[in-house]
């Protein structure tokens, strides 16, 4: 039996890479096209979405959750949007842009995760379906301006955590496990439903490399970091407003100095 030459082996390796690049380019082109045609057409601020915008604005006024208004989901998504409002201005286009950017990040992460466990064609097909059916949906369950930003933000963090965990299993680098833990903690801050994924994140080091069990404590600390930060901001009066004001003033001073 003839063994494949080195050039044949190189061609076998390059084939999936070229397919992945072509898939990513097509996803990008479709996403840009839909963004252009759907800008401002996949939202309705009357039902639920107005509540999302209003609460982020109230946080910037120094009001406190629970004591001043009721929260339907964890506060992290409102804190993120309040910070974006403070940096870029209180405008609906800010949230639309954030939703579009987050949706694109989610699709890329989804494609990257699926490419590790299935074919490039299958991963591409699912990513395209997610764009058409979910991200740019005209219902309240979309990524651009949804009924709540908690789920889209949490979904992206979850996909990032899963991708980092798969990369850790393949390569065994501690930084990938720590990133997986941090993004897992962020997803829980945004949506409590993702808490069960923690069992996978924290059991994986034992199942793959038991000698690295001491990394579990570091992973737990990384997962707790976003939770602690969100809690500190929640219990500090006007926290989102203060941090956002400091960042916006700092950016303004930097741009004034530079230009």
pLDDT score of 25 more than 80: yes
Q: Tell me which of 68 and 36 has the higher pLDDT.
A: 36
User: Structure pTM?
Assistant: 0.79
CA angle 131, 134, 135 (to 5 degrees): 55
pLDDT score of 8 more than 80: no
Q: What is the mean pLDDT of residues 154-161?
A: 93
pLDDT score for 30: 92
- For 57-68, the pLDDT digits (tens) are 777 777 776 666
Residue given tokens 């003839």 in the structure block:
2
Measured distance CA(116)–CA(109) in Å, rounded: 11
Average pLDDT, the chain: 78
Q: Among 3-17, 70-84, 119-133, 190-204, which is the least confidently predicted range?
A: 3-17
pLDDT score of 217 more than 70: yes
Q: Confidence band (pLDDT; 50, 70, 90) for 258?
A: very low
Residue given tokens 């962020």 in the structure block:
186
- Helix, strand, coil shares, percent, the chain, to 5: 75, 0, 20
pLDDT score for 58: 77
**Residue 201 in 3-state DSSP?**
helix
pLDDT score for 104: 94
Tell which residue, 252, 248, 239, has the closest CA to residue 78: 239
Measured distance CA(145)–CA(38) in Å, rounded: 12
Measured distance CA(74)–CA(54) in Å, rounded: 16
pLDDT score of 236 more than 90: no
Give domain limits for the chain.
8-245
Q: Confidence band (pLDDT; 50, 70, 90) for 11?
A: very low
Tell which residue, 128, 122, 132, 182, has the closest CA to residue 157: 182
pLDDT score of 223 more than 90: no
pLDDT score of 7 more than 50: no
Measured distance CA(166)–CA(114) in Å, rounded: 11
Residue 42 near residue 137 (C-beta atoms within 8 A): yes
Q: Confidence band (pLDDT; 50, 70, 90) for 83?
A: confident
pLDDT score of 121 more than 50: yes
Angle 215-235/198-208 helices, nearest 10 degrees? 160
Q: What is the mean pLDDT of residues 9-34?
A: 74
- For 169-211, the pLDDT digits (tens) are 887 788 888 898 899 999 998 988 888 888 887 777 666 665 6
pLDDT score for 208: 62
């Amino acid at each position: 039996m003839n063994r494949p030459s080195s050039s044949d082996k190189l061609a076998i390796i390059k084939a999936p890479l070229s397919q992945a690049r072509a898939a990513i380019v097509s996803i990008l082109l479709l996403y840009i096209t839909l963004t252009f045609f759907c800008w401002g057409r996949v939202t309705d601020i009357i039902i639920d979405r107005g509540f999302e915008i209003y609460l982020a604005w109230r946080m910037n006024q120094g009001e406190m959750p629970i004591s001043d208004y009721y929260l339907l989901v964890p506060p992290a998504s409102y804190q993120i949007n309040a910070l974006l409002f403070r940096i870029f201005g209180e405008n609906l286009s800010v949230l639309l842009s954030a939703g579009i950017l987050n949706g694109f990040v989610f699709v890329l992460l989804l494609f990257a995760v699926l490419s590790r466990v299935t074919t490039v064609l299958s991963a591409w097909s699912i990513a395209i379906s997610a764009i058409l059916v979910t991200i740019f949906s005209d219902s309240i369950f979309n990524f651009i301006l949804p009924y709540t930003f908690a789920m889209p933000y949490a979904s992206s963090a979850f996909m990032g955590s899963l991708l980092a965990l798969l990369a850790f299993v393949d390569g065994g680098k501690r930084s990938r496990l720590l990133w997986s833990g941090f993004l897992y903690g962020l997803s829980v801050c945004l949506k409590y439903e993702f808490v069960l994924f923690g069992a996978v994140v924290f059991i994986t080091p034992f199942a793959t490399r038991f000698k690295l069990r001491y990394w579990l404590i570091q992973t737990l600390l990384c997962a707790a970091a976003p939770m602690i930060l969100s809690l500190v901001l929640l219990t500090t009066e006007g926290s989102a407003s203060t941090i956002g004001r400091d960042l916006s003033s700092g950016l303004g001073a930097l741009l004034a100095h530079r230009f």
